[in-house]
Amino acid sequence: MTACIDEACAAGARVTEACRVVAISPRTLQRWREAGEVKADGRQQAGQQRAPANKLTEDERRQILAIANEPEFARMPPSQIVPILADRGRYIASESSFYRVLREADQLAHRGKAKAPRHHRPTPLQASAANQLWSWDITYLATTVKGCFFYLYLIMDVYSRKIVGWEVFETESAEHAATIFHKAHLREGVGADSLALHSDNGSPMKGATMLATLQRLGVMPSFSRPSVSNDNPYSEALFKTLKYHPGFPDKPFDSLQQAREWVAGFQHWYNEIHRHSALKFVTPGQRHRGEDIAILEQRNILYATAKVQRPERWSGPSRNWEHENIVFLNPNKSTEKEGKLKVKAA
């Protein structure tokens, strides 16, 4: 390389440009030519990594992890472990090495009781008919008094998405929740031991009065993980539909009566007029009463007839109006797969 650079410079090229072509700096060329002799290329090759002389061995790393996970030290940070070992006449590694090894093993943050609790996903639930699985939650309705809210309790049937119970109160309590649920349970004529009720982990949901009511009626309670709204998706979606409804008041509610009147109108619209996109655009009331089967079958016949009459307008199968038999709440992969197989077999 130095011979080529010398040849280029003899032909009139600048040293800087000649070095740039071979991807070295003039200082590197000067260093190679020190003491009148060309030294070997000592540059590190691409992808080559030099192991530091003070690198811990695998045995030392395993020893650090073993000591840090001993019952005596499992709840301590390295800043506590290393001095204790020093008092006992043992030196394993520095604090920074302990921190580095624990960090690489994903054991550094939240050791001992500071470790974040692990909450498992709720048990997967499914419904194949109305009044098998309900979901409920509470949302705020703003009032004209700043900082004060009304509390809207909504209970919905997961299979049909129908609102089966609701009420607006000035306070939030398990007693109110138990009263609303008991009324909805009687109104729908739900049989004993045939219903599961899913909710989040709020105090009204897990209050003694509410749980006692569920136990008396033979209802199985199900709860979301703390601070995980996706575990109660149907109620969350219903609240979004409610608050983004075109008729939702632009101004806060003046009175409890005004709030109740508006929610009553919304319930009728949602149950009997609103065609739900997740239900193949039938109303929740129609699906709850079983009327959707005939409606979807009529749509299938209509589309099949239209395709026969004008086949050139159809590049593939007609729109899917098939009735869905099973609805899942918080399914895992195996549950969804099993449910699809059941539908296919049916």
Task: For the chain, give every domain's residue range.
Answer: 2-36, 58-114, 125-275, 286-345
Q: Which residues of the chain have pLDDT under 70?
A: 35-49, 51, 110-119, 229, 333-346
The model's pLDDT over 199-247, given as tens digits with 9 standing for 90+, comes to: 888 888 888 888 888 888 888 888 887 777 677 899 999 999 999 999 9
Strands across the sheet containing 220-223: 163-169, 149-157, 133-142, 196-199, 220-223
Q: What is the pLDDT of residue 42?
A: 58
Helix (H, G, I), strand (E, B) or coil at 282: strand
| 187 sits in which H/E element | helix 174-188
d(CA 134, CA 242): 18
User: Kind of pairing, strands 327-329 and 125-127?
Assistant: antiparallel
Helix residue ranges per DSSP H, 39-152: 58-68, 78-87, 95-104
Q: What is the pLDDT of residue 216?
A: 86
Q: What is the pLDDT of residue 202?
A: 81
DSSP class per residue in 310-344: -GGG-SSPPP--PPP--EEES--HHHHHHHHHHHH
Question: Domain 125-275's class?
Answer: alpha beta
Q: What is the pLDDT of residue 45?
A: 58
Q: Which amino acid is at 191?
A: G
Nearest CA among 13, 50, 28 for reference residue 2? 28
Q: What is the pLDDT of residue 36?
A: 60
* DSSP structure class, residue 277: G
Q: What is the pLDDT of residue 342?
A: 47
